Chain A
Amino acid sequence: MSEAPFIQINDLHHVYLRDTPLEITALKGVDMEIHMGESVGIIGRTGSGKSTVVQHFNGLIRPREPGKVLVDGEDMSDPKIDIKRVRQRVGLVFQSPQQQLFEKLVGDDIAYGPKRLGMVQADRRERVKWAMEMVGLDFERFKDRFTFSLSGGEMRKTALAGVLALRPEVLILDESTTGVDPRGRKELMARLLALHKEHGLTLVFVSPNMEEVAELVERVYVMDDGRVVMSGTTREVFSQPEELFQHGLNVPQVTQVAHDLRARGIGVERVPVTVDEGVEEIWKILSSCETSPLVSTYQATR
Chain B
Amino acid sequence: MSYVANAILLLVTLGLVLLSGVSLKYIFFGLKPALPLIIVLAILQLLFYGDAFTPHGMASRTYFRWGWIHITNGSVQLVIVSAARFVELLFLTSLLTNTTTLTDITHGIEDMLKPFSRFGVPANELALVGTISLRFVPLLGEQLETIMKAQASRGANVAHKSKLEFVSRARQVAAFIVPLFVDAFRRGEDLILAMQARCYVGGRGRSSFVRLRFQRMDYLAYGVGLVFSVLMLGLQSYFPF
Contact = CB atoms under 8 A, between A and B. Distances in A.
A132 interface: no
Interface string A79-114: 000011001100110101011111000000000110
A180 to B, nearest CB: 18
Interface stretch (B119-127, B172-180, B197-205, B220-228): B172-180
Contacts of B155: 84, 87-88, 112-113, 116-117, 166
B161 interface: no
B17 to A, nearest CB: 20
B20 to A, nearest CB: 18
The B contact surface, by secondary structure, is helix
B186 A98 contact: yes
Contact of A166 (B151, B154, B158, B176): B154
A19 to B, nearest CB: 14
Interface in B111-169: 143, 146-147, 149-158
B153 A99 contact: no
A267 to B, nearest CB: 48
A98 B153 contact: no
A87 B154 contact: yes
A162 interface: yes
A283 interface: no
Given A98-B182, A99-B146, A99-B179, A87 B153 contact: yes
A55 interface: yes
Contacts of A163: 153-154
Contact of B149 (A84, A94, A102, A148): A94
Nearest to B146: A99
Interface in A51-81: 55, 58, 60
A114 B149 CA distance: 17
B179 A98 contact: yes
Band of interface residues on B: 20 to 34
B183 interface: yes
A162 B150 CA distance: 10
B143 A99 contact: yes
Contact of A60 (B147, B153, B183): B153
Contact of A162 (B149, B154, B175, B183): B154
B151 A83 contact: no
A162 B153 CA distance: 10
B136 to A, nearest CB: 15
Interface in A137-162: 148, 162
B120 to A, nearest CB: 37
Nearest to B186: A98
B152 A100 contact: no
Contact of A102 (B143, B157, B178): B178
Contacts of B157: 116
Given A83-B158, A94-B146, A148-B182, A102 B151 contact: yes
A102 B153 contact: no
B154 A94 contact: no
Contact of B153 (A92, A96, A117, A148): A92
Contacts of A83: 158
A100 B150 contact: yes
B152 A60 contact: yes
B238 to A, nearest CB: 47
A260 B74 CA distance: 91
Contacts of B179: 98-99, 101-102
B186 A94 contact: no
A91 B152 CA distance: 11
Nearest to A165: B154
A99 B150 contact: yes
B150 to A, nearest CB: 4
Nearest to B144: A99
Interface of B: 143, 146-147, 149-158, 175-176, 178-179, 182-183, 186
Q: Which 4 A-B pairs have the closest CB atoms?
A: A116-B155, A113-B154, A100-B150, A99-B146
22 contacts: A84-B155, A84-B158, A87-B153, A87-B154, A87-B155, A92-B150, A92-B153, A94-B146, A94-B150, A98-B186, A99-B146, A99-B147, A99-B150, A100-B154, A102-B178, A112-B154, A116-B154, A148-B182, A162-B154, A163-B153, A163-B154, A166-B154
Given A98-B182, A99-B143, A101-B179, 4 more contacts: A98-B183, A113-B154, A148-B182, A163-B153
